[in-house]
Amino acid sequence: MKYVILIVDDEPCVAEGIILKIKRMKLSDAYEAVTCSSGKQAVALVRERAFDMVITDIRMPFMSGTQLIKEIRKCGFDKPVLVLSGYDDFEYVREAFVNGANDYMLKPVAIQELEKKLLHYLPQNEQEKPLAADGLLGQKEEEAFVYDRVITYAVQYIYDNYKNKMLSMEDVAKHVSVSYGHFSGLFRKETGMTFPSFLRKVRVEKAIELLEDPFLKIADICYQVGYKYPQQFSNEFKRVTGVYPSQYKKKKNEENRT
């Protein structure tokens, strides 16, 4: 018996790409994939045929992935639903969870992640159980999923915007639609670091990469990683690494000459 998966995406190449990834998996014979290009078609298919999972794009014309989830849940579909999203789609993902999504995958979907999700929600062993037996999360589990995604999106936003000298925790909290006070505690709980410490770590990591270039000046690197002043950059760099950037660069140059 095969698990039948409905893949919904208005871009056929995306759906076909997922099918190709499934075919490359070790347990590819355990899955059968059906595709369609709109939410309306997907609702009709769910009413006509039994599916074990729905994977849907979150942004589609006429009927979004969130609306699709809402409609098929009304139809009694109680199996896992996974949404495909980009890093900028957090608000849509959060709404999707509220309407009955189980999980999400970031585009472009990596084959390892896809295989992991399929094995988790469509276990090959009868002893294994999906996260929720009825395909839906309980309220506490749903909140845990959402908050985990909050930090995933927040961290990515920091990596995408660390060069911005004005980047603040308020900016990041606003991006993921969480209040400043709540985000502060949530971020520390999930990452084990305060927001300033995490941002400092990211900027220093990037600075270390740039210091590998013998032709880049420290002052230039300072501005490239989001610091306003070279002295501030030097102090923050030492705070993380134990040495000043000039010392680090000198050591690297000496190592490259040997």
In sequence order, what DSSP letters do the residues of 178-202 get, joined into one string?
Answer: --HHHHHHHHHHHHSS-HHHHHHHH
Q: Judge contact between 190 and 147, C-beta under 8 A.
A: yes
The residues pairing with 103 across neighbouring beta strands, listed in sequence order, are 82
Can you give the pLDDT at residue 131? 45
For residue range 8-17, list pLDDT tens digits in order. Answer: 999 888 888 8
Can you give the pLDDT at residue 135? 43
User: How sure is the predictor about 162, in pLDDT bands with cuts at 50, 70 and 90?
Assistant: very high
Lowest mean pLDDT among 51-60, 114-123, 177-186: 177-186
- What single DSSP character describes residue 33? E
- What single DSSP character describes residue 129? -
What's the pTM?
A: 0.54
How is residue 24 written in tokens? 């490359």
Question: Mean per-residue pLDDT for 60-72?
Answer: 94
For residue range 203-236, list pLDDT tens digits in order. Answer: 999 999 999 888 899 999 999 999 999 999 999 9
- The helix/strand/coil state of 80 is coil
Number of continuous H segments (helices) and E segments (strands) in the chain: 12, 5
Q: Look at residue 139 and tell me whether its pLDDT is greater than 80.
A: no
- The helix/strand/coil state of 92 is helix
Q: Which residue has better confidence, 253 or 55?
A: 55
